[in-house]
Amino acid sequence: MHALSGMCKKTQCILIIFGAKKEYKIMKMKKMFFYLLLCSPLVCLSQKVEFNKKTKEVTVDGVHSFNIDATGCGLAFDDCHYEIFDTTGAKVIRINYREFKSFVERNQANPQGIVRYYEFIFFTSKTKAEIEYTDLSKVALAKLILKNNLVSAGKINDKAVGEFVFANGTPFSQRAATGR
């Protein structure tokens, strides 16, 4: 009886070990599945955005999406703005670079307290929105427009424009008026 009970214990131990291995494999598979789900939007939604300087065309995965024309954007720019045209050639967005001085923003890194932002003017809806300045490159602006889905299938996306205007508003021009 003693040997039999010892054998049962060994069998139970073996079953527990095999069960643990099975649970370990399931946990490992769950982790891998989770990581695949986590990374799949990055892989699936990544788009190749290119800007052709000669034609001023922005292409997404090789398909013409819209055109960007920059005016006054150089080393010493005073009136820098970008005009966005859909694939039919209609001007749909104007993006103005703006800045103002704010005493609230003064610090050691920014002694003059300069605040920089982009002002988006949408011609079809006659609305405005402002976002924080990021980069003056055309590719960065093109990616920003595509990320917010402002232009899709070569035309302005009015629903996305409405969401963009609602989400961002015009906080910088309100601050510029008060100097804050």
Segments forming the whole domain that contains residue 130? 49-178
Residues 28 and 74 in one domain: no
Residues 25 and 73 in one domain: no
Residues 134 and 173 in one domain: yes
For the CA atoms of 153, 159, 164, 170, what is the dihedral angle to 10 degrees? 130
Residues 99 and 154 in one domain: yes
Residues 7 and 89 in one domain: no
Q: How many domains does the chain have?
A: 2
Residues 72 and 13 in one domain: no
Residues 170 and 83 in one domain: yes
Residues 98 and 142 in one domain: yes
Q: Return the H-helix or E-strand segment holding 68.
A: strand 63-71
Q: How far apart, in whole angstroms, are the C-alpha atoms of residue 70 and residue 110?
A: 27
Q: Rg of the chain over CA atoms, in angstroms?
A: 28
How do the pLDDT tens digits run along the chain, 180 residues long? 444 444 555 545 554 555 555 555 565 666 655 555 555 444 445 678 888 888 899 988 889 999 999 888 776 667 889 999 999 999 999 999 998 888 888 888 888 988 889 999 999 999 999 999 877 688 888 999 999 999 988 999 999 999 999 999 998 888 887 766
Q: Where does a domain end: 46, 63, 79? A: 46
Residues 24 and 101 in one domain: no
